[in-house]
Amino acid sequence: MSVLNTYIRPAIALAFWGLAGFATATAVAPETAGGPSSPNVLLIVADDLGYSDIGAFGAEIDTPALDRLADSGLRLSNFHAAPTCSPTRSMLLSGTDNHTAGMGAMAEVPRPELTGRYGYEGRITGRVATLAERLRVAGYATVLSGKWHLGLTEESWPSNRGFEHSFALLQGGHNHFGNSGFGAGDGGPMAATYVDDGKPVDVPGDFYSSDYFTDKLIAKMRQVAPEQPVFAMLSFTAPHSPLQAPRELIEKYRGRYDGGWAQLREQRVERLKRLGLIDDRTIAVNPAPDASSWNQLGDGEKRVQARAMEIYAAMVDSMDTNIGRVISYLDDTGRLDNTFVLFISDNGPAGQVAKDYMVVPSVRQRFEQADHSFDNMGGATSYVFYGPHWAAAASSPFRGTKGEITEGGTRVPAIVAGVGVSRQNAISDAYTSVMDVVPTVLALAGIDVAEQVAGRTVAPVTGRSLVPLFGTGASDRIYTDGEPIAYELHGQRVVVDGDWKLLFMPAPLGAGRWQLFNLADDPGEQRDLADKQPEIRQKLIAAWDRYAESAQVLVQ
């Protein structure tokens, strides 16, 4: 069985906050890094959330907290993650390439040829410093709650990678209701591992992931002295499969998706256009999923499919409610006016279905244990995926979904607001990425990007500070033409240089050859210009070769 089939597919109103000052805050230049004037930082990461899955990016899902955040700040409409979870998180916290950070591939399905190789350790390595390590050395309190997915070995736990206070799910996914359904703490291969300040713990019977992660984040922030600046990372597992949500929230969305996935995509594209996030070049791009795939379903199957999307929407709704709780806590404790907030998703929406994961024994075991009846969908003993068609709607208006290095798999919603961000209800279409988060936060905090952290020499940060995008006289670009950005995952390769994107996706996932797209004219990646622009193609291939050599990429 090919690597593609065994690995790539299965892996893949301001008064509400009291934000009068928050919305117009400008950059703070701290006299002493880590001192009282240093800005707090709140980093919020959603899990498998699509580009158009929140209201500020065109969704019909109720996300008032995130929408208000966008109104008070800046939407980054061209922000990119890696195609899957753990590589993104390694880039996000290190500010550099996922191979350098040790996550050149997902660790869930072992590949013997990668054992012991540089860049494929399957955990975040000591070659890089995490943002938490850098900020903690500078005097910050560092707090994490939620998904970690950067290594199961103790030396790679968040408590040993810079987080003074942490509650973490070590794996990439879990039962959102904890031990009340499949995956109970039986020591089986999918039993989730939670650690609280470095000590393995169980979770209570009333556990629901988004609620509990938020409870823990707030509780641990309460341990921080009021005068100490804090870096807090809230890392949700919503809306990652299995799709599960409180029953009352699922019922809130009953009937909203009865028109099917093609209708949803069309509605979202129109909202994106009204919001100014896309223009006419994008409207006709990639019409899949088409209406026929929905119309061919029987009434019973339509009901099941619509319910899956209702659960997904409920998970996003719950996540947003909890984001509002954290913002309110910061406001109540007097920290909000001196806080920089960044919200992102870790990759595009997950289009996989159960059979894509059946090669993983633990997933097969839990799926077979689950109760798949309609009335149980979304409950603790259910195991629901929503599949490629809803995911294609969630990645509107782009092509592809999680696990693919296309725009739909990697371009994600991103919002910045608060300290350092003077633009309100604004949009930047500059190319940006998860590697830019570390230098951005350090710039706002007035901290140098040191080559030595906690007594060890670490790899250089390769991302760029996004601060030039944040002011009223903002730059329109961070990376200029002639500064190619390359990365790789699971044999998929990409180089971006200005508006040009060179792309290689192995067959049958993609064309099995280098393709070239001009994203300024073709953001949906529909017109391959590789043969028409041979000089540009060769220039970017050469850039890829330089990157692959420096990052020690194993080209498959």
pLDDT band at 341 (very low <50, low <70, confident <90, very high): very high
Of the two residues 288 and 104, the one the predictor is more confident about is: 104
Can you tell me the distance from the alpha carbon of 102 to that of 90, in angstroms, rounded to the nearest whole number?
8
| 424 & 541 share domain | no
Can you tell me the distance from the alpha carbon of 324 to that of 327, in angstroms, rounded to the nearest whole number?
5
Can you tell me the distance from the alpha carbon of 60 to that of 48, in angstroms, rounded to the nearest whole number?
17
Q: Residue 188's pLDDT is what?
A: 44
| 521 & 439 share domain | no
pLDDT band at 281 (very low <50, low <70, confident <90, very high): confident
pTM of the full predicted structure?
Answer: 0.93
| 395 & 421 share domain | yes
Check which CATH number belongs to the domain holding 530 and give it. 3.30.1120.10
Cis peptide before 289 (omega within 30 of 0): yes
Average pLDDT over residues 258-279: 94
User: Considering only CA atoms, which of 364, 359, 373, 478 is closest in space to residue 428?
Assistant: 478
Average pLDDT over residues 317-336: 98
| 259 & 231 share domain | yes
* Biggest CA pair distance of the chain: 66
Query: What's the CA angle centered on 13, arms 472 and 217, to 5 degrees?
Result: 90
**Poorest-pLDDT segment among 21-30, 350-359, 444-453:** 21-30
DSSP-assigned letters across all residues of 450-473:
-SEETTEE-PPP-S---GGGTSTT
Can you tell me the distance from the alpha carbon of 247 to that of 19, in angstroms, rounded to the nearest whole number?
32
The yes-or-no verdict on residue 283 having pLDDT over 90 is: no
pLDDT (tens digit, 9 = 90+) per residue, 362-393?
677 778 888 999 999 999 999 999 999 999 99
Q: Residue 19's pLDDT is what?
A: 34
85 is an active site residue? yes
| 16 & 53 share domain | yes
Q: Residue 290's pLDDT is what?
A: 77
* Domain final position from 425, 456, 473: 473
Dihedral sign for Cα atoms in the order 143, 145, 149, 152: positive
The yes-or-no verdict on residue 196 having pLDDT over 50 is: yes
Can you tell me the distance from the alpha carbon of 129 to that of 160, in angstroms, rounded to the nearest whole number?
11
Catalytic residue, from 80, 85, 174, 176: name it.
Answer: 85
The yes-or-no verdict on residue 556 having pLDDT over 90 is: no
pLDDT band at 190 (very low <50, low <70, confident <90, very high): very low
Average pLDDT over residues 124-137: 97
3-37 burial, b if ≥16 CB within 10 A, otherwise e? ebeebbbbbbeeeebebeebbebebbebeebbeee
Range of the domain at 113: 3-473
Maximum mean pLDDT: which of 48-52, 171-175, 523-527:
48-52
* Domain final position from 473, 493, 516: 473
3-state secondary structure of 442: helix
| 192 & 261 share domain | yes
Over the Cα atoms of the chain, what is R_g?
A: 22
Q: Residue 70's pLDDT is what?
A: 98
149 is an active site residue? yes
Percent of the chain with pLDDT over 90: 79
**Poorest-pLDDT segment among 72-76, 331-335, 437-441, 453-457:** 453-457
Q: Residue 473's pLDDT is what?
A: 81
Q: Residue 454's pLDDT is what?
A: 87
Can you tell me the distance from the alpha carbon of 30 to that of 27, in angstroms, rounded to the nearest whole number?
9
DSSP-assigned letters across all residues of 348-363:
S-----HHHHTTSHHH
Cis peptide before 413 (omega within 30 of 0): no
Average pLDDT over residues 207-236: 98
Q: Residue 43's pLDDT is what?
A: 98
| 390 & 443 share domain | yes
CB atoms < 10 A from the CB of 167, how many? Answer: 25
| 488 & 464 share domain | no
Average pLDDT over residues 465-487: 92
| 118 & 172 share domain | yes
Q: Residue 7's pLDDT is what?
A: 37
Find out whether 514 and 495 touch, Cβ atoms under 8 Å.
no
- The total number of structural domains that make up the chain: 2
Strand order across the beta sheet in which 514-518 lies? 485-489, 492-497, 500-504, 514-518
Average pLDDT over residues 503-524: 94
Check which CATH number belongs to the domain holding 279 and give it. 3.40.720.10
Catalytic residue, from 80, 149, 174, 176: name it.
Answer: 149
3-state secondary structure of 273: helix
Q: Residue 36's pLDDT is what?
A: 62
| 431 & 551 share domain | no
pLDDT (tens digit, 9 = 90+) per residue, 25-61?
333 344 446 666 899 999 999 999 999 999 999 999 9
Q: Residue 34's pLDDT is what?
A: 64
Q: Residue 285's pLDDT is what?
A: 63
**Poorest-pLDDT segment among 354-363, 444-453, 456-465, 514-523:** 354-363
Average pLDDT over residues 259-280: 94
| 499 & 392 share domain | no
* Domain final position from 438, 473, 508: 473
| 132 & 226 share domain | yes
